[in-house]
Amino acid sequence: MEGIATREFLAQRPLYSQDTNELQQYVELAVDWEAMHGLLFRAPATETATWQQTALVPAPITLAPSPIPRSSFDLVVSLQPTLNTLFDRISRDHDFLVSTLQSLGTSDEFTTRVFQMYLKQRLEGAKKPCVIGIHRSDYLINAGAELQAKQVEFNTIAASFASLSAVVGDFHRYMLERTGYKHLLKAGRITREQIPPNESLTSIGDGIAAGFELYGQSE
């Protein structure tokens, strides 16, 4: 879909049924597949149902892939190393961090706590000869005159869901092969080649392992 216009892309993208009766069979397949492949997380606890603290529920995912232009996908993938470098340099700019984060006060409890940890380790003179960064960029497609991927978040602590996101593509490939998305797909088409691989689990694991090895070295 290189260089495709907004109107043409919107006309060709897959359209899915909104009929809950037709969707139910896909929901049941999805729940079974997620249970068998560990695409689960802990149920949120409530005051009236403490048993949920030990319950696992299927992760919320789409039944089919969300269409985006191939050119936009390739662009954001190619930009990621540059963004990694940019945010690493920002994290080393003390004056900028103080001027930006100190103004938050107590409005964001989590960020305030992390910022205080940063100030404490800086005051103690902690040395960091090497740093490992785990980054995730989130995008939305802006369907204006030109289709553009717009970054809405840059996350630097998102490691836990790598084990889930890595298998969502496998789920979509399974659904495509098992059902062909019959009845669910009302227009357009989906092919296996359109579902990219996701190596988040292995790449983050390799990065953490490399950081651990460096941490154990004296220099």
At 30-44, the pLDDT tens digits run: 999 999 999 998 887
Give residue 52's pLDDT.
Answer: 66
Could you tell me the two tokens for 108? 């964001």
Helix (H, G, I), strand (E, B) or coil at 40: strand
pLDDT at residue 178 greater than cutoff 70:
yes
Which pLDDT band, with edges at 50, 70 and 90, does 85 fall under?
very high
Contact in structure between 156 and 179 (CB atoms under 8 Å):
no
List, in sequence order, every residue forming a beta bridge with 187; answer none if it has no partner. 15
The sign one gets for the Cα dihedral 44, 22, 193, 4 is negative
Distances (CA, A) of 56 to 25, 26, 34, 35, 138: 21, 20, 11, 9, 26
Contact in structure between 88 and 61 (CB atoms under 8 Å):
no
Which pLDDT band, with edges at 50, 70 and 90, does 80 fall under?
very high
Contact in structure between 139 and 76 (CB atoms under 8 Å):
yes
The pTM of the full predicted model, rounded to 2 decimals, is 0.80
pLDDT, mean of residues 150-165: 85
Task: Return d(Cα 20, Cα 22) in angstroms, integer.
Answer: 5
Instruction: Kindly state the percentage of the chain with pLDDT values over 70.
Output: 92
Contacts of 103 (CB under 8 A, 6+ apart): none
